Each structure stands twice: as structure tokens, then as C-alpha cells.
Amino acid sequence: MMLLGLVIMVAPESVSIRHFRAEDLPLLRRITVDSFGSVAFDEMLEQRLGRWNERDWKARKADHIDEDCAANAAGCFVAEAEGQVLGYITTRLDRVNGIGRIPNLAVVEEARGLGLGRRLIHHALDYFREQGMAVAKIETMASNAIGQNLYPSCGFEEIGRQVHFAMRL
């Protein structure tokens, strides 16, 4: 497997999931930008409305990871093998309403197909249970075929669809 310029062989059983560490953040931002591409709402906004504030969609999407990690660092997890981060998942907790939400999940291209997304989701679900959450939520864009297949296979049910509107000011 080629990962960040290094060739490594990864067996799925050699991948561990650990808590996020602050020094992971630059890499998680890069994995986010590399992974979301055509399924990022921020990219769709930019395609339709152009760039604004001298920042592109990649910067805005990467900022979501900063926000997730700042809001609930204890609920952010990374998958790694041989010291290489292969993916991550972020979570948010609504303790008042008992809802755990997964805002972001990404796996590096070279490690896709190993079941890491599924393992990260199950890890987050266990975390929600430990935290006393009653419901877990995750969402995806209709254009995200991976999410459209993965999330139901992990036990999520489609509840509804949302339409996003935007305009330039």
C-alpha cells in the first residue's frame, strides 16, 4: 500500500483505533480534503457560488475537523497501523437529548476496502453507548455512494432527506 509516499503492507487486524491526539490534527485535515472531494457540500457551494473570503472549500471543510476536535476531543478517534494514521471519525454529544452525532469520517484512499470505516463507526457507536446516548445520527450527501451503502449496513436507517439552499450576499 502506498501511503503518504511510503510503501506499507497493512493487514486489517493490524489496525488499531485510538483517541485523537492534538498532533494528529494537521494530518486529519489533509485526509479530510483528500477524501471528501466531490461529495463535500462545501465544494458544491463553491462550484455554484464561486470562492469567497479568499478561502476555498478545502479550507472550510478542514476547519470542520478543527471544530469537531475542539468540541469533543474525547470522542474523536483515529485508525492507525505501524504508526501511520489511516482514517478517523469525529463525534458530537447532545447530552440533554441523548443524541450522538458523527459529523465526519474519512479513510485514506490506500486503506479503503479494509473495513476501517465500519470499524470506526462501530467504535463511535460503542462510545455513544458508554456516554449514555439513546440515538446515533450520521448524514451524507446523496452523491456519496460509499456513505449511502456503508451507513445502512452498520444499522442506520434513512429517516429523511434535506435540501440545502444557498445564495451569495
pLDDT single digits (tens) 81-90: 999 999 999 9
Which amino acid makes up residue 67? E
Cell numbers for 34: 483528500
- Any idea where the domains of the chain sit in the sequence? 15-153
Which three cell numbers, joined as nine digits, stand for 139?
448524514
pLDDT of residue 13: 78
**143-157 pLDDT tens trace:** 888 899 999 999 999
Full-model pTM: 0.89
Q: What is the CATH number of domain 15-153?
A: 3.40.630.30
DSSP secondary structure string for all residues of 91-153: EEEETTTTEEEEEEEEE-GGGTTSSHHHHHHHHHHHHHHHTT-SEEEE---TT-HHHHHHHHH
Digit-coded pLDDT (tens) for 105-136 = 999 999 999 999 999 999 999 999 999 999 99
pLDDT of residue 9: 62
In angstroms, rounded to a whole number, what is the distance separating the alpha carbons of residues 14 and 115? 12
